[in-house]
A and B are shown apart, each in its own frame.
Chain A
């Protein structure tokens, strides 16, 4: 990091570093164009991918309701399902570029409203869980690598792996039974599901506390399951560094063990973890379907899964576009950060 900062400071003065900056600019341009290409591909794919699904929304929704052929036709006409496919595709492109994601066939409200409603719970749940899992996971990974073979390592690795292998819904249900309903001496502190209580007034401190309380169990479930992802990667990449000569040098300089670990070993071992974190952040938007289901949190993952059964084309297209954009953006960011962290990537 210090090197990079030094380069930045020098850049204004020496012609040599100007060239380097321009090459980073070109690198950025390339990555941005690549991402734009991916987005365009997703845009087109999103339309055709879901039209291939079996099923006719009018019939799925209208069973027992739209009794006559005329009623079915009326529904199709209202929501543009009677148009030929190329026509629908053009409408889709035109609307998407003007920021209109269409109207949900099931909920009959604009898809953009639906997605906005669902985005916040998802970001809260998966965002907090990813953040916690990253911090705790990386920390555990460092601890166990540094104490390789000792009891700390074995317990940490064993526990995270065991939790990793647990089905999320099962873990979630057990946590509900233990901490929401209460069991034996444990009182049932936490709510069994949802994101807030009926009484909570939006905008008050109580509301924030109430939402936090609702989030504890679902976030805990996700964190417990995600932990191993981060701790194992961190552990193995730190183990790779542990044998390196520069660590011996650092120790020889008389640095304390903690400093060697923090300043030298961990810093170098963080690169692979950065990739994983960036990818995880991208997937935050797509939600965590299982945990959303168990804890009845109205997130994006559930919205998309349920839309599949109809199929609710516009909701599917919209969520596909938004989640893909999330992943693509996170990837782009990771690439840009990589370019800064490691000049070799640029060439």
Chain B
């Protein structure tokens, strides 16, 4: 402690000239964002992490962007688009007057070039290929038009979340080089892009990324001069940095931290709805995809949709949300989160899952899984069901806790179960081998439901389908919605697909997730949530908020944006109001530390003295 004191004093001397002087008008307006994961690549053809998507969104533009309300397609570089009667030709009108940061004009040719790189295969296609499914040709007949030719209609269009890169820079990067091309600032030159900001400092896997604003951005310049991302490898110090004011925004914090921060002055914290869900998935029948022969040793009871569906009434989702998710989440039902209201299907009220063990029991009885003399349920032929093997991912506490509850509730129904927790990589292998009965995992769902829906098709068995689910009726509907040229027709198919999944229950969707975020509302204002209302504030689809946010002092009415949170923003979404500030805890900890050190010394003294006597 003496040592610590001495070092602190030394550092105080050291720090004196380094302490930042009070802000004055000439200082740039800088938003510093704390994140918990590194950018994996600034090259938009390579990166995978959510953080990287945010960096590309700041650096580049997209042909289509997303609305704040429900993430439906909105004009980006493309001002309008139309499709031919047969759905095989898409024509996009491209905005004029957009410039790359090196002064060159951005034209339709850059867009066609970017898409063609993906169509030509290589790492570009492994990242983005699925968005150009059934596209055979991409052309820019002039500087203001892009034409996509398809072999069959693709309902996912016009959604194309692909960053547009400058042809005059990327034409020099060969197919072979692109797999390790970093696309980072070189020799102090920022990366060439057209987005609202440009990357001036930062490297993949590094811990600081600095962006300067684009003074001539076509959507209007940002009110921020700089955005800096700072990587924190653990979230407690990040929260401390927010309290201290080293950072202005903390992304991806826990519900408990949100609760604690709600008591801090000048900080707004909330749990924003994030479009993803967690589920309990079942082994509905693993097969060898080459021969069609069954593989693994899944319990036959779980091959029966009626059995799986009955278990849906044995889940107390309210309790899971309050105990496992600390209230920061919503009970789930289908694989499309409520944020995507256009696509979401809601089960009718009298059929929706509710915690009702009697109903679950009688459904099981009706399906032939009656209780034997020992109180355990049996198969319809009277043989024992045996013990269901449940799996949870050890690195995810929600996964383990949810499955723990599930095991208990299965027991109350008269079904034995055992829970194994393991690393997700190992669990992946077990799922692919079909050697499980149920697992807990989750999915992030994109604004277009197509990819999520595809994971439940027969073709994805052995691929991304972890429930081995296969239903020809579902597959027909999948193909139908994927090729639909009429929105209403597609919507109907998508909703019917969710209904089928609800009845067949390869997944029991347990929760829709939230992401905890907090920011210095005494410094910055005008954050608009996405989806609006209830959503997250940064790491959204599109860059709206980087253009919305402004210093709290001159926020005014946020230019009349009513959904944006003004300077005196209301508290967050986590319902609880008790003040769980962490400072007393830490003070207590420090006192305890001191006591332990002194006590340790004293204890050792006494021990040594007795030892000395014995010698």
Contact = CB atoms under 8 A, between A and B. Distances in A.
Interface of A: 53-56, 59-72, 74-75, 78-79, 103-104, 106-110, 114, 117, 136, 149, 151, 153-155, 157-159, 161-163, 166, 169-171, 173-184, 186-196, 198-199, 206, 209-210, 212-213, 216, 220, 223-224, 292-296, 298, 302-303, 309, 311
B40 A298 contact: no
Given A174-B589, A180-B240, A184-B587, A216 B130 contact: no
25 contacts: A53-B425, A54-B423, A56-B425, A60-B428, A71-B127, A71-B129, A72-B463, A75-B123, A75-B126, A108-B179, A149-B608, A155-B604, A158-B604, A158-B605, A177-B586, A178-B590, A181-B244, A182-B244, A191-B246, A193-B238, A198-B230, A224-B3, A294-B234, A294-B237, A295-B237
Contact of A162 (B424, B596, B608): B596
A44 B265 CA distance: 57
Interface stretch (B10-18, B77-85, B337-345, B569-577): B10-18
Contact of A163 (B234, B424, B597): B597
Contacts of A187: 12
B205 interface: yes
Interface of B: 3-4, 7-8, 11-12, 14-15, 17-18, 20, 30, 32, 38, 40-41, 43, 46-48, 121-123, 125-127, 129-130, 179-180, 182, 203-208, 210, 228, 230-234, 236-238, 240-241, 243-244, 246, 395, 423-426, 428-429, 443-444, 451, 454, 463-464, 583, 586-587, 589-590, 593, 596-597, 599-605, 608-609, 612
A190 B15 CA distance: 8
A78 B11 contact: no
Contacts of A224: 3-4
B605 A151 contact: yes
Contact of B237 (A189, A193, A302): A193
Given A55-B426, A71-B129, A184-B587, A296 B601 contact: no
B612 to A, nearest CB: 5
Contact of A71 (B130, B204, B599): B130
B179 A78 contact: yes
Nearest to B608: A154
A68 B451 CA distance: 10
Contacts of B586: 173-174, 177-178, 181, 183
A68 to B, nearest CB: 6
Given A65-B127, A78-B179, 4 more contacts: A67-B130, A67-B454, A158-B600, A178-B590
Residue among B424, B426, B608 with the most chain A CB within 10 A? B608
Contacts of B603: 158
B200 to A, nearest CB: 11
Contacts of B599: 162
A298 B234 CA distance: 12
A-B pairs, 4 with minimum CB distance: A158-B604, A55-B425, A162-B600, A154-B605
A67 B207 contact: no
A69 B464 CA distance: 9
Contacts of A206: 17-18
A304 B436 CA distance: 31
A188 B615 CA distance: 48
Contacts of A60: 424-425, 428
Contact of A192 (B228, B237, B428): B237
A112 B355 CA distance: 55
Given A74-B121, A183-B587, A192-B244, A159 B601 contact: yes
Given A75-B123, A174-B593, A213-B11, A157 B604 contact: yes
A173 B232 CA distance: 13
B14 A296 contact: no
B12 A189 contact: yes
A181 to B, nearest CB: 5
Interface centre among A110, A182, A190, A198 (most CB of B within 10 A): A198
A180 B381 CA distance: 67
Contacts of B41: 107-109
A154 B48 CA distance: 55
B601 A179 contact: no
A342 to B, nearest CB: 30
Nearest to A74: B126
A75 B47 CA distance: 12
Contacts of A216: 7, 11
A69 to B, nearest CB: 5
